[in-house]
Amino acid sequence: MGENREKAAVAVKDVSKVYKLYEKPMDRMVEALGLTKKKKYKEHFALDKVSFSIKQGECVGIIGTNGSGKSTILKIITGVLNPTSGSVEVDGRISALLELGAGFNMEYTGIENIYLNGTMNGFSKKEIDEKLQDILDFADIGDYVYQPCKTYSSGMFVRLAFSVAINIEPEILIVDEALSVGDVFFQAKCYHKFDEFKKMGKTIIFVSHDLGSISKYCDRVILLNQGVKLGEGSAKDMIDDYKRVLVGQYEVKDDKKNENLLEDEDIKDAVLRKEAEQSDSKTLEYGTQAAVIEEYYLTDDKGTRSTAILKGSEFTIHMKVRFMQDLPAPIFAFSIKNPKGVEITGTNTMFEKAFLESVKAGEVKNVTFTQKMSLQGGEYLLSFGVTGYEGNDFQVYHRLYDAQDITVISDKNTVGFYDMNSKITVD
C-alpha cells in the first residue's frame, strides 16, 4: 500500500470556475445576440486558481463557509461541471454522495432503481445481483423496496440512495454532508461503513460542517474561502483557521500558496508584524482587543494552581479579563479539545445565564468556572474566549486557542471521552 499512497488519486491544477452574473435577463439576451460590445455582466469566481493533490489511500477533508466553493470543486472532480480553466485528473472509479438519488426514477420501484443506478455506474446485471443483498440489508427499508420510490418518505429514499451509492465498491469516495442523513442508528451505520473504507485503503474526499467528524477521519484538510484555497494542513490547524474565517478575523499568511491574496503591501506588512509578535508562542490568538484576557490558569480541588487534575475531583478554570472599551454584554467562554482538535466540551456565561451585564472601559473581571472532572485520563487543550453581540453582530474581542494544557490523571478509563460514573448493581 505504501507505493499506492505516493500515487495521486485526484490532482487539481489551477482550477477556476467563473460565472457571468447579469443584472437583468434582457442583458443576457442582448449579449447573446451580439447587439452590444459593452460587457453586460459581472464575473463571479466560484473557484479561483485552486490546486491540490490527494494521494491514493488518503482521507482529505474540505471545509469552508457556504459559498466557499466546496460543492463546485466536488462537481468538477466528478465531472458534473467543467472548469472555466485549469485541469483535474482522476485515477479510479468515483462514487459521489453529493445529490443522493439524482439518478433515480421516482416512478420505478426501489429494486428497479438499484439496477438502473448500478447499470449507470458500469456494472453488469450479474454484478448487481451479487451486491443486491448487501444494498437491501444496508438500506433496511423492508418491503418498501418493491414499491415505487414516489411512495417513500424522504428518510427511506435517502437510505436507499445512500446504500446504492456506497455499495458499488468505488476506489474514490466523495462524501458531501451525506453522513448526516437519516436517524441516529442509520448515521452510526454510515460512519461504520466509512471506517471500513478507510481500513481498505480507499481514497476519501470528505466535505462537512461537522468539524468533529473532520478531525476524527481526515489525514489532511483543505480550507476554502470565497473560491480561494486559504491553506491545507492538519485538521487541527485548518479548523482553527476556519473558525477565524467565520468571525472575519482570518489573517492571510505570507507564503507562496497564497501570494494572490497578498497584493496590498500594507496588508502584507500588518500580517508579518502580527506573525512576528506571535512567533514566540504556540497559542493562536485573535480578536478586536476591545477586551483582553490577561491571565488564565487552573486550580485543583485544594485551590492549588495545577495543570494536572485528578479524574472525579472538582477543579476551577480562572480568567482575568481587562476591558479596553465599554461593552454591552460580554460573554466569557472556555472549551476543551483533545490533541487532534476535536472539541469535547465547553460552556460560556450566556449558556449558563451567569453574567448578562454591561461593562465599562478600564474594568477588570475575574471569571471562574468550577466543575467536576469527568474526562478520561489523558492530555487535553484548553481554549478561552471573550465575545459578545453588538446589535445583531457577533464580535470576538479576544480568543486564545490551545492556550493551556490539562493532564487528567485516572486509574479507571471507560469508553469514549468522558465517564458517566455509572452505579452498577448485579443481583
306 CB-contact burial (10 Å; exposed 0-12 / middle 13-18 / buried 19+): middle
- What is the Cα–Cα distance from 320 to 421, expressed in whole angstroms? 32
pLDDT at 164: 86
Question: Which 8-state DSSP code applies to residue 190?
Answer: H
The three three-digit cell numbers of residue 386, written as one number: 471573550
pLDDT at 256: 37
- Please count the residues of the chain: 427
- What is the Cα–Cα distance from 38 to 27, expressed in whole angstroms? 10
Gyration radius of the chain's alpha carbons: 26
The three three-digit cell numbers of residue 87, written as one number: 485541469
The reply to whether CATH 3.30.230.10 applies to domain 1-92+171-276 is: no
Q: Which long-range contacts (CB under 8 A, 24 or more apart) does 341-347 make?
A: 341/215, 341/234, 341/235, 341/236, 341/237, 341/239, 341/240, 342/211, 342/212, 342/215, 342/216, 343/211, 343/212, 344/375, 344/380, 344/417, 344/418, 345/375, 345/417, 345/418, 346/383
- What is the Cα–Cα distance from 156 to 241, expressed in whole angstroms? 37
- What is the Cα–Cα distance from 367 to 317, expressed in whole angstroms? 8
Strands (E), 234-377: 284-286, 291-299, 308-310, 314-323, 330-337, 343-348, 364-372
Query: What is the three-class DSSP state of 186?
Result: helix
The three three-digit cell numbers of residue 323, written as one number: 476591558
Phi, psi of 298 (to 5 degrees): -115, 150
Beta-carbon contacts of 151 under 8 Å, excluding residues fewer than 6 positions away, are 144
What's the farthest any 2 CA atoms get from each other in the chain?
Answer: 89
Nearest in space to 410 (alpha carbons), one of 381, 378, 382, 380:
378
Q: How many CB atoms lie within 10 A of CB 35?
A: 10
Q: pTM here?
A: 0.76
pLDDT per residue of the chain (427 residues) written in tens, 0 to 9: 444 446 799 999 999 999 887 777 776 676 766 666 677 677 889 999 999 999 999 999 999 988 899 989 999 998 889 999 999 999 988 877 766 666 788 999 999 999 998 887 778 899 999 999 999 999 999 999 999 999 998 788 888 888 888 887 788 988 876 566 566 777 778 778 878 888 888 999 999 887 878 888 899 999 999 999 999 999 988 988 888 888 777 766 544 334 333 334 443 444 344 344 433 445 688 999 999 999 999 999 999 999 999 999 999 999 999 999 999 999 999 999 988 888 899 999 999 999 989 999 999 999 999 999 999 999 999 999 999 998 888 999 999 999 999 999 988 889 989 999 999 999 9
pLDDT at 388: 96
Query: What is the three-class DSSP state of 295?
Result: strand
Secondary-structure class of domain 285-409 per CATH: mainly beta
